[in-house]
């Protein structure tokens, strides 16, 4: 859904630069994908990775057979997996601290 909205924005506008497309990816798509991903995202990493790569290939008009590693290298895009795990560990750390403070308080 979010990727369809971004594609509509790009189709209606004159945005052709990669920088503008990357800003849209970062601001719109990732905000939707990462919503509460600390909780549920770890279970769906494979699907999220596939969705991210499909969106990038469509955005750049690459064929489906374009190697994912090449796409990531050329676009400078990180794996969603590493970002979700980092967010989950940060959330877990905060939750542990809150529990300790609650116990001591």
pLDDT along the chain (105 residues), means of 10: 65 71 75 80 84 85 92 88 87 89 80
Residues in contact with 38: Cβ distance below 8 Å, sequence separation at least 6, in sequence order: 84, 87, 88, 90, 91, 92
The whole-number pLDDT of residue 11 equals: 66
Q: Could you tell me which of 5, 20, 19 has the C-alpha nearest to residue 55?
A: 5
Ordered by start, the domain boundaries in the chain are: 2-104
pLDDT of residue 27: 77
pLDDT for 3 equals: 62
Helix (H) or strand (E) holding 74: helix 68-75
Please report the pLDDT score of residue 73 as a whole number: 92
pLDDT of 75 reads: 87
pTM reported for the whole predicted model: 0.65
């Amino acid at each position: 859904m979010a990727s369809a909205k971004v594609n509509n924005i790009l189709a209606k506008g004159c945005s052709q630069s990669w920088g503008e497309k990357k800003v849209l990816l970062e601001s719109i798509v990732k905000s939707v994908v990462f919503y509460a991903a600390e909780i549920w995202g770890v279970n769906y990493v494979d699907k999220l990775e596939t969705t991210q790569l499909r969106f990038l290939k469509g955005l750049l008009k690459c064929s489906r057979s374009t190697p994912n590693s090449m796409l990531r290298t050329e676009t400078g895009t990180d794996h969603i997996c590493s970002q979700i795990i980092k967010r989950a560990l940060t959330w877990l750390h905060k939750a542990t601290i809150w529990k300790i403070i609650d116990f001591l308080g």
